[in-house]
Homo-oligomer: A and B are copies of this chain.
Amino acid sequence: MAIIVVEVMLKPEILDPQGVAVGAALPRLGFTFAKSVRQGKRFEIRIDGQPTPQQMQEIEKAAATLLANPVIETYVVTVQA
């Protein structure tokens, strides 16, 4: 059993209203450490056994098709033990 993690973030040049809202809320709550905040998505995909190279290719394709919109988002695929 392995967990494939797909992290999806908006590209830096794309406006991120969720991140802006969080960044504006932090100082209102007394937290002053943040210069800026970006919010993205995180998917944990459970698969049987360790992923084969062919499966990793499929997962890449699924990430680009369903999980992320490559026009405005970047994604990173990693394998957790």
Contact residues of A with B, CB < 8 Å?
Answer: 1, 7-9, 19, 22, 25-26, 29, 31, 33-48, 51, 55, 58-59, 61-62, 65-67
Contact = CB atoms under 8 A, between A and B. Distances in A.
Q: How many copies does the complex hold?
A: 2
Q: Is the interface of A mostly helix, strand, loop or mixed?
A: mixed
A25 B55 contact: no
A51 B39 contact: no
Contacts of A55: 33
B37 A58 contact: no
A25 B62 CA distance: 10
A66 B9 contact: no
A10 to B, nearest CB: 10
